[in-house]
Structure 1
């Protein structure tokens, strides 16, 4: 029997390769939603991947004062799109859930519906993007609600290297989230390799000092096709070093240059973290619905997966 996604994530000797996507806009008819899913999966036919990540998109305007480069549009319930993708792709799906908008009772009902109606098994809970907005339920309280719920979920959390670069304590947050039930982490999109290396190194060191088994960190990468996508990445809080910005903006083919940067960043992370015994994984997404960037994300996935598989093979030989 092939391994499930949960089994692969839990086994440090296995590679984990995911594709991230967002649901269609709210109000999209079911038949059109299914066509969108079918079109996405047709693009993925040429690559081997272990599962899909479906994001819960939030309006993050409370987090930053500058205007959002792309207009915010509400999306379909990520659970609905997860079900359609799981059915069509015949692969496991990880579904994100933003918890701040519902109180404890509403979130408890959401968990029951997610298990009974949607048959979801894999969740990543996300807190409020800012302390300035209305928060009906904190992330910590949501973890507690889930722990007390009768349904069993495979729970993941978010890892943000940029937050570690600013505050120096993201590794402590990962350990706290593990204590509250998180069994894996998915990073924000990586463009600052050093920030990610610092986070992984701090996490590995603290786990070793506390005699804890580290959880898998799945690294997210995304292509960038030009100035507007770059502005959107920075608006989302993704750290892009100045040299990388100029490499993308001044390149004859910005998309191809961004793919090279992502490969360079992954190679740096693998090189510096090889001896830390932190199981890593790969998640590739497209931040826009532009066809060229979606196609580029497939090329990026293929290249980064080959890079990571080579690293795993060399590690096993060593």
Structure 2
């Protein structure tokens, strides 16, 4: 249903995002991690699984990285070889600039064969040598546009500084991009401003807006909080104070995330912007992983209450009507 929902610009899309195991992990351990992922997610009502391409972004900032960078397995390889039992579409991230046009074309052919969908992202640092620009990468993808959708990233923090995220979104739409997955949202005002400006731009140009999928992530420790800020995620001072003062930071962060999800749901509905959520789980602590699964369930329930997702009973009724 993911492909149809994006092509039809339906609201209520629900994704779940993970990173592959670190490089050098034994085959047995990779299989174990994959099986745990399948077991956790099989019962979730999600439209697709996002598998990130982990990049070293240390050159992007002079600040010391809170956690050491560790290479991860290739996301396409991990998804295609270990997650086939999870019978939902996979969305695979790829930094287009790191690869030649031929390499990207071959990668897209393999992706298409698996019925996966790409999200092209930028280079990990401004001075990184670019082999293929994003517009060139979108052009290479065009041959698959009838049977696939391509996504891109949107960054609320960038819009706050440059005030041009709506322009970037519309430019990428012209290249075939139909949905955008945001950086993790902890500043509600930043996310709302993108929606406000995007809605105004689309109205002025008399074009239909793309789907905006907001990434929601729990935070269970001071170290994780520090790492989020290092990644460029803006966390308001009051939110940081509330998290640090909480008896249970993880529980508090989940409550904050749910408030953000609820507010963005109403805000996007009011402005007729198709939207959804991506529940990100990149932590290794069991409690944080379980919290992300619970959030996916709860946000799914929120979307169903708003009439944006069908309940299992509705699906069964439709199948019976067809039969």
TM-score (normalizing by structure 1): 0.91
**Which whole-Å deviations, capped at 9, do the CAs of 1:40-60 have from their partners, x for residues lacking one?**
121224432222100011100
Specify which of 35, 42, 61 is matched with residue 39 of structure 2.
Answer: 42
What is residue 311 of structure 1 aligned with on the other side? 306
Specify which of 53, 58, 64 is matched with residue 55 of structure 2.
Answer: 58
1:9 aligns with 2:29: no
**Using a 3 Å threshold, how does the CA distance of structure 1 residues 150 and 298 change in structure 2: closer, same or farther?**
closer
**Using a 3 Å threshold, how does the CA distance of structure 1 residues 267 and 281 change in structure 2: closer, same or farther?**
same
Q: CA deviation at 1:16?
A: 1.3
**Which whole-Å deviations, capped at 9, do the CAs of 1:117-158 have from their partners, x for residues lacking one?**
xx2431100011321223222222222232367996421111
Specify which of 77, 85, 90 is matched with residue 88 of structure 1.
Answer: 85
Q: CA deviation at 1:17?
A: 1.1
Specify which of 263, 269, 275 is matched with residue 258 of structure 2.
Answer: 263
Q: How many residues align structurally?
A: 309
Q: Secondary structure at the match of 2:16?
A: strand
Kept in 1: contact 2:45–2:300 (CA 8 A): no
**Using a 3 Å threshold, how does the CA distance of structure 1 residues 150 and 193 change in structure 2: closer, same or farther?**
closer
Q: Which runs of 5+ in 2 are unaligned?
A: 310-323
Kept in 2: contact 1:86–1:92 (CA 8 A): no
Q: Any residues of structure 2 matched to 1:128-139 within 5 Å, and which?
A: 128-139=123-134
What is residue 179 of structure 1 aligned with on the other side? 174
What is residue 241 of structure 1 aligned with on the other side? 236
1:77 aligns with 2:74: yes
**Using a 3 Å threshold, how does the CA distance of structure 1 residues 5 and 59 change in structure 2: closer, same or farther?**
same
1:197 aligns with 2:200: no
Kept in 2: contact 1:282–1:305 (CA 8 A): no
Specify which of 275, 287, 294 is matched with residue 289 of structure 2.
Answer: 294
What is residue 317 of structure 2 aligned with on the other side? none
Q: CA deviation at 1:238?
A: 0.9
Q: Which runs of 5+ in 1 are unaligned?
A: none
Q: Which moved more, 1:42-51 or 1:238-247?
A: 42-51
Q: CA deviation at 1:195?
A: 0.5
Counterpart CA distance in 2 for 1:171 and 1:68 is 30
Q: CA deviation at 1:271?
A: 2.9
Kept in 2: contact 1:18–1:50 (CA 8 A): yes
Counterpart CA distance in 1 for 2:198 and 2:145 is 31
**Using a 3 Å threshold, how does the CA distance of structure 1 residues 238 and 312 change in structure 2: closer, same or farther?**
farther
Q: Which moved more, 1:144-153 or 1:197-206?
A: 144-153
Q: Secondary structure at the match of 1:175?
A: helix
What is residue 105 of structure 1 aligned with on the other side? 102
Specify which of 195, 201, 220 is matched with residue 225 of structure 1.
Answer: 220
Q: Secondary structure at the match of 2:177?
A: coil
**Using a 3 Å threshold, how does the CA distance of structure 1 residues 281 and 250 change in structure 2: closer, same or farther?**
same
**Using a 3 Å threshold, how does the CA distance of structure 1 residues 120 and 28 change in structure 2: closer, same or farther?**
farther
Q: Any residues of structure 2 matched to 1:200-211 within 5 Å, and which?
A: 200-211=195-206
**Which whole-Å deviations, capped at 9, do the CAs of 1:237-263 have from their partners, x for residues lacking one?**
111111111111110000000011111
Counterpart CA distance in 1 for 2:231 and 2:8 is 31
Kept in 2: contact 1:22–1:54 (CA 8 A): yes
Q: CA deviation at 1:216?
A: 0.9
Which structure's relative contact order is higher, taking Cα pairs within 8 Å and 6+ residues apart? 2
Q: CA deviation at 1:13?
A: 4.2
TM-score (normalizing by structure 2): 0.89
Q: CA deviation at 1:310?
A: 2.2
